Amino acid sequence: MTPVYRMSTAVQGLGMTSQRARDRLIERLRTEGIGDTRVLEVMRLLPRHLFIDEALASRAYEDTALPIGLGQTISQPWVVARMTEALIEHGLPARVLEVGTGSGYQAAVLASLVAEVYTVERIDELLRAARRRFRKLGIENVRSRYDDGRAGWAEYAPFDGIIVTAAGESVDPALFDQLADGGTLIAPIGPSGLQQLRRYRREGDRVSQETLADVAFVPLLAGVR
Ligand code: SAH
């Protein structure tokens, strides 16, 4: 199966009025160093304005994080693009775990690139809204769960890719345990104001690490809300 660009016709038909704004955003991402055409094409088609409150929809195609309520944010498009590109650079993972569903936008981007997406969110209200969006957009390969994602999702492990979209002091050992051999994990690490986006790759019992960028994420918190 080749799930790249498996965007439902429902998705392609929605929000066409903002296609020009999306095209401009994609040009900007390209200028800012995003080179993976698969990621750019998916983000060119996916209507980000449907993942935020209507009152903010006019700002959906600015390259900026935006509030989604309950003190949380939808990540900046450049960050979503960079994380996704870093996750798939060494081969498309078949099964990906996301910690921090938030608006559902990152999960939706992943859903049109990989076969199976598993996403965990600790705020029920955000998760419910994200699920409504998946349904509306005809996205069927995202499974979601209300829980503390620091424990991963053991039932579906191992994952070829793991993406953490909230910043912690370190990567929880449970996530490395659930990362397949040869798998890639992307996570922002560090305290507020000093976070770095890191990529970890597992080779047998060894895990290598590299720093990709300086970033600003909301904190990874313990327990459910
Ligand atoms: N990927 C999201 C980004 C949302 S911001 C998007 O595309 O919109 C990060 C999210 O991580 C928030 O919704 C926050 O509630 C959630 N989060 C923080 N700590 C968490 C944890 N321990 N487990 C699961 N979700 C967590």
Kindly tell me if the per-residue pLDDT of 31 is higher than 80: yes
d(CA 178, CA 3): 23
Token couple for 121: 């969110």
User: Among the options 18, 75, 103, 112, which is catalytic?
Assistant: 75
- Rounded (10°) angle between helices 77-88 and 19-31: 60
| Domain extent listing, the chain | 9-215
77 lines ligand 1 (CB under 6 A): no
Quick: pLDDT tens for 111-167: 999 999 999 999 999 999 999 999 999 999 999 999 999 999 999 999 999 999 999
- Determine whether 75 is an active site residue: yes
Instruction: Determine whether the shortest distance from the Cβ of 18 to ligand 1 is under 6 A.
Output: no
Give dist(CA 108, CA 39) in Å, integer.
Answer: 12
Environment class of 137 (CB within 10 Å of its CB; exposed 0-12, middle 13-18, buried 19+)? buried
Encode pLDDT of 41-97 as tens digits.
999 999 999 999 999 999 999 999 999 999 999 999 999 999 999 999 999 999 999
Nearest residue (CA) to ligand 1, atom 12: 102
Average per-residue pLDDT for the chain: 93
**Burial (CB count <10 Å: 0-12, 13-18, 19+), residue 142:** buried
CA of 164 to the centre of ligand 1 (A): 8
* Contact (CB, 8 A) for 151 and 122: no
> How far does residue 197's CA lie from ligand 1's centre (Å)?
15
**Centroid of ligand 1 to alpha carbon of 124 (angstroms):** 11
Angle at 31 between CA 55 and CA 39, to 5 degrees: 70
Angstrom distance (rounded) from CA 176 to CA 185 = 8
Q: Residue 2 above 90 pLDDT?
A: no
Under CATH, domain 9-215 is a member of which superfamily?
Answer: Vaccinia Virus protein VP39 (3.40.50.150)
CA distance 63 to 48: 11
